Amino acid sequence: MPLRDLPAGSARTYRPAAGFDYFLPLYDPLMRLLGGDGARRALLDQSTIRPGERILEVGSGTGTLVLLIKRLHPDVVVVGIDADPKALARARRKAEREGIAIQLDCGFSDQLPYAAASFDLVFSSLMFHHLPPAEIGPTLREIRRVLKPGGTLHFLDLARHLPADHLHALMSEAGLGDPQTVGERSMRFMRLAYHRASVARGAVPYCVTDSSEASPDSFTAAVPAPRPPAAS
């Protein structure tokens, strides 16, 4: 089951989920030790997830959050996108071991390969501090584009990375409404901030451009759900 890969010959670079490739095997156990599981649960607690919704995580890394969402809400469609193919390969193996059906795509946060107004919720966990400053605004605009009217963005990141007023201004400029910081949390040596913004229910969806239209031959890492046991 291939992952959606970066375009052949792509000159763009990315920061690996663990900072360096050789730290990747340590990333999940280190995050658990630091309190990452509780931090992600708190992120989900600030949202309302309904059956049948389509959910995207931008910067899904090794898949911990997308798998958690699917475990807690098996009746939603969950998609994760990340620029790090090695992290995505690890996420795919975790999904296969659990028999959880998710979609994993390889791509950049400021060029999401999805149609406009195609997701009810967008999440992001500890991704924004990986972005160069010039990519934060375009990433927020892409998130706004793929959110449905009435959809919401929920994300957490390092509290010191972006001043709240500057971040709220960027979200407003991207067309996201009611930007706010909804809480903070300590995670060992880090202080995390939780943010949300939304798209008004009567909002007109952003136009889809050629550069962001989902490709018809999209590669995914969809893992089939296990079949229920036969009745005895």
Task: List, in order, residues 6 or more apart from 23 with CB less than 8 Å away.
Answer: 16
pLDDT of residue 188: 73
| pLDDT > 70 in the chain, percent | 73
pLDDT of residue 89: 92
pLDDT of residue 174: 96
The side-by-side arrangement of strands in the sheet containing 177-187 is 103-106, 77-82, 54-58, 119-125, 147-158, 190-198, 177-187
pLDDT of residue 159: 87
pLDDT of residue 4: 43
pLDDT of residue 185: 87
pTM: 0.80
| Domain with residues 35-198, CATH architecture | 3-Layer(aba) Sandwich (3.40)
Amino acid letter, 122: V
Q: 105 forms bridges with which residues in the sheet?
A: 4, 81
pLDDT in tens, the chain (232 residues): 333 444 444 556 666 655 556 566 665 556 667 667 888 899 999 999 999 999 999 999 899 999 999 999 999 999 999 998 988 999 999 999 999 999 999 999 999 999 999 999 999 998 898 899 999 999 999 999 999 999 999 999 988 888 899 999 999 999 999 999 999 988 777 899 999 999 998 777 665 444 443 332 233 334 333 334 444 4
pLDDT of residue 194: 95
pLDDT of residue 129: 85
Task: List, in order, residues 6 or more apart from 202 with CB less than 8 Å away.
Answer: 149
H-run or E-run covering 232:
none
Packed helices 24-34 and 85-98: angle between N→C axes, nearest 10 degrees: 70
pLDDT of residue 69: 97
Which SS3 state, helix, strand or coil, does residue 38 take? helix
